[in-house]
């Protein structure tokens, strides 16, 4: 593992909470429904066995994260879903803190600017309402296809813009042209835009969990690979970017770890709990 500062884990510091992204960190992107490998499972369990708190911190919706909890034998504690808009009680498998926003104007804007894009709003704990065909079953859970006029029936945790035939940079530009005065946005996939409530991030969700546990950011090890992990990596006492992360994500991390295909997160955890 290479790092941007002296090797982490060699000074006796042990995190009290370990925040773990899912896609590109706990599992490769190739299979959305995959379970973490045996080495990754064992590493996450070593965190809990040492008395620290392993916390899933993902852009996934709550319903899309249940099988990750099961695969890691997480039956208590907390998790962050929907890029920080939803904080979860893992034992009860229900949200304990939810941040929403009015997505009506963003829906109208993107429907006009990119009419061939699919728009989707998250139905908390269930699935999505979407404006077009569920191509390649990208949206999981209960999926209801509705016209744009019926897409938003109230405040939502996030709005997804999926432009299958479009360009990622153009999608960024369209979002920037609107200004998105009420929301922040993070690109998770090529031509996939997550629009969330203003100020929401994984870091904010984790901060709420830390408050409940009496833990400070300086006690947190965070591991991730995506642009939606950047606030979390910068906020944590030690932020680790996976070897498969983009260069700008690696640049803000304290440490750069191995690739997800090499069970990199297991190697990262072993430096602190091995």
Read off the pLDDT band of 190 (50, 70, 90).
low
Residue-wise pLDDT tens digits, 3-21: 433 334 556 899 999 999 9
215 pLDDT exceeds 90? Answer: yes
Distance CA(197)–CA(185), nearest Å, equals 8
**Average pLDDT over every residue of 232-239:** 98
pLDDT at 238: 98
**Is residue 7 packed enough to be buried (19+ CB in 10 Å), middle (13-18) or exposed (0-12)?**
exposed
List C-alpha distances in Å: 190 to 71, 167, 170: 27, 7, 11
Token pair for 64 = 């899309």
Which domains occur in the chain, in start order? 2-98+201-273 (3.40.50.1000), 104-197 (3.30.1240.10)
Q: Please report which confidence band the pLDDT of residue 185 belongs to, taking 50, 70 and 90 as the band edges.
A: low
Report the predicted TM-score, pTM, of the whole model to 2 decimal places. 0.91
Residue with tokens 């999505």: 128
> Are 78 and 88 contacting, i.e. CB atoms less than 8 angstroms apart?
yes
* pLDDT of the residue at 179: 75
Ordered DSSP codes for 210-267: HHHHT--GGGEEEEE-SGGGHHHHHHSSEEEE-TTS-HHHHHH-SEE---GGGTHHHH
Flag whether pLDDT at 46 surpasses 80.
yes
Q: Output the six-digit token pair for 48.
A: 């809990």
Place of tokens 């369209």: 174
How does 196-220 read in b/e, with b if 16+ C-beta sit within 10 Å?
bbeebbbbbbbbbbbeeeebebebb
Three-state secondary structure readout of 145-205: ECCHHHCCCCCECCEEEECCCCCHHHHHHHHHHHCCCCEEEEEEECCEEEEEECCCCHHHH
Burial of 247 (0-12, 13-18, 19+ CB in 10 A): exposed
Give the closest residue to 208 by CA, choosing from 101, 55, 60.
55
Q: pLDDT tens digits for 121-154?
A: 999 989 999 999 888 778 889 999 999 989 998 8
Q: Give the Cα separation of 27 and 77 in Å (integer).
A: 21
Does residue 158 have a pLDDT over 60? yes
- Tell me, what's the pLDDT at 84? 95
């Amino acid at each position: 593992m290479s790092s941007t500062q002296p090797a982490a884990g060699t000074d006796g510091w042990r995190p009290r909470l370990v925040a773990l992204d899912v896609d590109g960190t706990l599992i490769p992107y190739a299979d959305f429904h995959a379970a973490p490998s045996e080495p990754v499972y064992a590493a996450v369990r070593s965190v809990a066995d040492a008395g620290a708190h392993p916390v899933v911190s993902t852009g996934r919706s709550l319903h899309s994260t249940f099988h990750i909890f099961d695969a890691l034998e997480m039956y208590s504690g907390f998790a962050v879903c929907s890029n920080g808009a939803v904080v979860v009680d893992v034992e009860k498998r229900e949200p304990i803190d939810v941040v929403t926003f009015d997505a009506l104007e963003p829906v109208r804007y993107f429907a006009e600017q990119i009419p061939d894009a699919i728009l989707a709003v998250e139905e908390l704990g269930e699935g999505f309402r979407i404006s077009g065909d569920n191509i390649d079953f990208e949206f999981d859970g209960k999926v209801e296809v509705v016209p744009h006029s019926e897409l938003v029936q109230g405040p939502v945790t996030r709005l997804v813009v999926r432009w299958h035939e479009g360009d990622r940079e153009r999608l960024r530009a369209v979002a920037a042209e609107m200004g998105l005065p009420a929301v922040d946005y993070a690109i998770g996939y090529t031509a996939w835009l997550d629009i969330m409530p203003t100020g929401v991030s994984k870091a904010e969700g984790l901060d709420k969990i830390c408050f409940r546990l009496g833990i400070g950011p300086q006690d947190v090890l965070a591991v991730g690979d995506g642009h939606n992990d950047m606030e979390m990596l910068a906020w944590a006492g030690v932020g680790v970017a996976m070897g498969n992360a983009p260069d700008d994500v690696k640049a803000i991390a304290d440490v750069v770890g191995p690739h997800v295909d090499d069970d990199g997160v297991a190697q990262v955890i072993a430096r602190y709990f091995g």
